[in-house]
Amino acid sequence: MYLGAHVSIAGSFAKCIDRAAALGANTFMTFASSPRSLQTQLFPKTEIDLYLKKKSEFRLGPHFFHGVYLVNLATENPDYLVASCNSLIFYQQLAGRINAVGTIFHIGSHKGRGFSATVNQIIDSVNQVIAASPAGTKLILENAAGQANTVGQTFEELAQIITGIKDKSKIAVCLDTQHAFAAGYRPEEVLDAFDRIIGLPYLSVIHFNDSQTDFNSHVDRHDNIGSGKIGIKNMAKILNDPRVKQIPFILETPGENHSGPRKQDVDLLKQLAASAWAKHRKLPFGK
């Protein structure tokens, strides 16, 4: 299985490889710019070459980008929409350059206007980004917890967006377990609901996070695996579901003092996926 975590590119782009390897990950996710700015800057060829050399040496698997938090394809501001699309296009073109899978991103907030008022704009924007994306890359929609009018809190919203995409070979979905729990999808039902409404063939990656907040809270607050409201047994059941055996799992857990995922967190993932935890496949969901 591909089990990994979000790691930093601070210092130089190639340092993400060292950080992922130090965690014991075989898949990983990074930003490609400041997560709190829509401005981007090309990396020097020397950094990209070093990245590719190290990735080959450490034999790391899939690399996913996470789009910046400021992207909003549901905005009323046309200039902001252009900047959001340009940020995603930059990420996608870099993904093609380094053979990354693509870019996972939060679709944005309709600011109370409603999904129906913004869905056509979102679809048009996604089609624009996909048209500028290199062959073989995926633009990956992430489900939302539903906080602050965010788009994608229901699988129906994601499915409706996908219906309008012209090149469906370049579109995929990231399932965030905490967001789904906070949006009202119970752990024992979430994969069934995803398959029924969107279709598991669209599932490209799972953000594997426990939840600090209650079920159906619509609040986006991640917790370390086994420390939150979803519970370790429920998390183990999802991880060991045979339908997602080939899907990469990425931690976005807070770690200690919000410093991000630790090696012990990736080690726990491996333990949950090991044969010693296979008994969870036969146990009911619960804490």
**Catalytic position from the list 19, 63, 110, 207:** 207
Which residue in the block uniquely carries the two structure tokens 């990354």? 100
Residue length, the chain? 287
**Catalytic position from the list 19, 63, 106, 280:** 106
280 is catalytic: no
Strand 3-6 and strand 249-251: the pairing is parallel
**Catalytic position from the list 2, 18, 47, 69:** 69
Reference 179, options 218, 212, 140, 149; nearest CA is: 218
Helix or strand holding residue 252 (H, E) = none
Q: Hey, where are the domains in the chain?
A: 3-282
Which residue in the block uniquely carries the two structure tokens 């063939």? 201
110 is catalytic: no
Would you call 120 exposed, middle or buried from its count of C-beta atoms within 10 A (0-12, 13-18, 19+)?
exposed
223 is catalytic: no
**Catalytic position from the list 157, 179, 185, 202:** 179
Q: What is the pLDDT of residues 213-227, one digit of tens each?
A: 999 999 999 999 999
Q: Is 113 helix (H, G, I), strand (E, B) or coil?
A: coil
Reference 62, options 105, 95, 17, 28; nearest CA is: 28
106 is catalytic: yes
176 is catalytic: yes
267 is catalytic: no
Q: What is the pLDDT of residues 149-176, one digit of tens each?
A: 999 999 999 999 999 999 999 999 999 9
Helix or strand holding residue 269 (H, E) = helix 263-273
241 is catalytic: no
Those residues with Cβ within 8 angstroms of residue 93's Cβ, 6 or more apart along the chain or in another chain: 132, 133, 134
pTM for the whole structure: 0.95
19 is catalytic: no
Tens digit of pLDDT at every position of the chain (287 positions): 999 999 999 999 999 999 999 999 999 999 999 999 999 999 999 999 999 999 999 999 999 999 999 999 999 999 999 999 999 999 999 999 999 999 999 999 999 999 999 999 999 999 999 999 999 999 999 999 999 999 999 999 999 999 999 999 999 999 999 999 999 999 999 999 999 999 999 999 999 999 999 999 999 999 999 999 999 999 999 999 999 999 999 999 999 989 999 999 999 999 999 854 445 445 445 55
Q: Is 185 helix (H, G, I), strand (E, B) or coil?
A: coil
CA 223 to chain centroid, in Å, comes to 16
36 is catalytic: yes
76 is catalytic: no
Do the beta carbons of residue 208 and residue 249 sit within 8 Å?
yes
Reference 154, options 139, 143, 162, 138; nearest CA is: 143
Q: What is the sign, positive or negative, of the torsion defined by CA atoms of 137, 143, 146, 151?
A: positive
CA–CA dist 239, 241 (Å, integer): 6
142 is catalytic: yes
Count the neighbouring beta carbons within 10 Å of the beta carbon of residue 186.
15
Those residues with Cβ within 8 angstroms of residue 79's Cβ, 6 or more apart along the chain or in another chain: none
The domain defined by 3-282 carries CATH number 3.20.20.150: yes
